Amino acid sequence: MTKPSTSLPVVALSTTLEKSLSSGHPWIYRDHLPKTAQIEHGAFVELRAGGARAFALYDAESAIALRVFSTRKVPDDEWLRERVELAFRLREPLRRGRTSAYRWIFGEGDQLPGITVDLYGEYAVIVSYASSLERLIAPVAKALTETTKLLGVVRRLPSQEGGARLELVSGRLPPARFVVEEHGARFYAELEKGQKTGLFLDQRENRRFIAAMASGLRVLNLFSYTGGFSVHAALAGASRVVSVDASAGALETAKDNFRLNGLDPDAHGFETADVFAYLQSAISRAERHDIVISDPPSFAKSRAQQADAIKAYKRLNADGLRTLKPEGIYAAGSCTSQVCPDDFRDTLAESARRAKCELQILGDFGQPLDHPVLAQHPEGRYLKFIVGRALKLR
């Protein structure tokens, strides 16, 4: 990175932001900017609010106008390396637990606003969330390679065809697919073709929680993708796991993942279907399972879609609960940040009412240690995963 200039533009903010700034909240929205502020896109500025001071990166395009990096100094190579090394050190428990794919940097939660880095074996994938962050990519990539041995650092960018493409930053590109470990289970990762950066790393601990209860049981995994929950449940001795996803390709990879772990896919079910339609037909066939997992994609990209998302959760989980045997286990996931944990739990109560059962909550989970949330930045929390036992009405 270029040497930080010694005379940064100073932006004076309202004193009402003093507390937020001094506590390290990483975002300042555009409507909090002084009308007269003239700042260059992608430039660092010094912020002042009352007695608080901080250093932030300006973005002319997004609703988040300023990303606050430090109260100490303008992030230089050394400051970035400290963040990268700290985040790596804090993931040691994962590496010890036979896990080779995890989120190395979770943006705001790891004190590096706007940037995530996922590690898959010896390949790191950088994703950045605003064009103003461009200048940080090269120094972050350098810090990654200085922290641990890597074969390649890539960025995942949207492609013109609507999918994603990988762009090489350093080292070499990863193979189209290769094997990583999650708590000792093996999975194919496809960093370019796959969804997210290849795998849904955030459900790791929830998969283990479900697997611990799955021995000898029939499991229905809705929105299975490449079989993350399915493989763990089958490895734990589930008698039959049915994986349902709209993507035929994801289910082919799910079968490959079964074989990769010495499991026979023919002993299990793989259904390419829309989950909502699948549930209707499962209910009419009286198909029943001991454990049902529902881990849908985000239902709301913006605040305007929040009400629809809440409706969709109520309906989805009511139908999911209807495919459960009495005293069966239901696991409801939500990655929609627009629906907060309390509201999501309320939707489940409504689903249980519609399905005429009482849901006895056994676990109410959030994000694992590689997706940390700062207390000062509750916006970083998006994942909900509630596990309950469906009891008959008293």
- Among 27, 58, 200, 258, indicate the residue that binds ligand SAH (CB under 6 A): 200
Binding footprint of ligand SAH, residue count (CB under 6 A): 18
Residue 357 bears catalytic tag: no
Tokens in use for 134? 């461009």
Binding mask 226-255 for ligand SAH (x = CB under 6 A): --xx---------------xxx--x-----
218, 237 contact by CB (below 8 A)? no
CA-wise closest residue to 192 among 140, 138, 118, 137: 118
Nearer to ligand SAH, 132 or 206 (CB): 206
Element housing 244 (H / E): strand 240-245
Distance, CA of 180 to CA of 261 (rounded, Å): 12
27, 379 contact by CB (below 8 A)? yes
Distance, CA of 327 to CA of 278 (rounded, Å): 22
In the complex, the smallest distance separating the C-beta of residue 243 from ligand SAH, rounded to whole angstroms, is 9
By CB under 6 A, tell whether 378 contacts ligand SAH: no
Question: Quick check: helix, strand or coil at residue 89?
Answer: helix
Binding mask 50-89 for ligand SAH (x = CB under 6 A): ----------------------------------------
Active-site hit among 54, 335, 339, 374:
335
Is the backbone of residue 388 left (phi > 0), alpha (psi -120 to 50) or beta? beta
* Contact residues for 40 (Cβ-Cβ < 8 A; gap 6+): 58
- Among 275, 292, 310, 312, indicate the residue that binds ligand SAH (CB under 6 A): 275
Nearer to ligand SAH, 101 or 153 (CB): 101
In the complex, the smallest distance separating the C-beta of residue 82 from ligand SAH, rounded to whole angstroms, is 32
* Phi, psi (degrees; rounded to nearest 5) at 368: -80, 180
351, 314 contact by CB (below 8 A)? yes
In the complex, the smallest distance separating the C-beta of residue 274 from ligand SAH, rounded to whole angstroms, is 4
* Contact residues for 105 (Cβ-Cβ < 8 A; gap 6+): 83, 84, 87, 112, 115, 116, 117, 140
Q: Which residue's C-beta sits nearest to ligand SAH?
A: 228
Question: Quick check: helix, strand or coil at residue 34?
Answer: coil
Nearer to ligand SAH, 163 or 297 (CB): 297
Nearer to ligand SAH, 84 or 244 (CB): 244
Nearer to ligand SAH, 124 or 312 (CB): 312
- Render 297-365 in DSSP notation, one character per residue: PPS-SSGGGHHHHHHHHHHHHHHHHHTEEEEEEEEEEE--TTS-HHHHHHHHHHHHHHTTEEEEEEEEE
By CB under 6 A, tell whether 205 contacts ligand SAH: no
Element housing 124 (H / E): strand 123-128
In the complex, the smallest distance separating the C-beta of residue 42 from ligand SAH, rounded to whole angstroms, is 33
CA-wise closest residue to 348 among 377, 372, 324, 384: 384
- Among 274, 327, 349, 360, indicate the residue that binds ligand SAH (CB under 6 A): 274
Nearer to ligand SAH, 86 or 369 (CB): 369
Question: Per residue in 307-337, is it b (16+ CB within 10 Å) or e — as a string?
Answer: eebbebbbbbbbbbbbbbeeebbbbbbbbbe
In the complex, the smallest distance separating the C-beta of residue 336 from ligand SAH, rounded to whole angstroms, is 12
By CB under 6 A, tell whether 260 contacts ligand SAH: no
Nearer to ligand SAH, 29 or 276 (CB): 276
In the complex, the smallest distance separating the C-beta of residue 298 from ligand SAH, rounded to whole angstroms, is 9
Distance, CA of 11 to CA of 186 (rounded, Å): 50
Task: Candidates 231-239, 282-290, 293-301, 318-326: pick the segment binding ligand SAH (CB under 6 A).
Answer: 293-301
Element housing 169 (H / E): strand 164-171
Task: Candidates 43-51, 60-68, 136-144, 219-227: pick the segment binding ligand SAH (CB under 6 A).
Answer: 219-227
In the complex, the smallest distance separating the C-beta of residue 31 from ligand SAH, rounded to whole angstroms, is 34
In the complex, the smallest distance separating the C-beta of residue 376 from ligand SAH, rounded to whole angstroms, is 29
Residues 295-354 interacting with ligand SAH (rule: CB under 6 A)? 295-297
- Among 111, 203, 243, 334, indicate the residue that binds ligand SAH (CB under 6 A): 203
Binding footprint of ligand SAH on the chain (CB under 6 A): 195, 200, 203, 223-225, 228-229, 245-247, 250, 274-276, 295-297
Q: Which residues are catalytic, by number?
A: 335
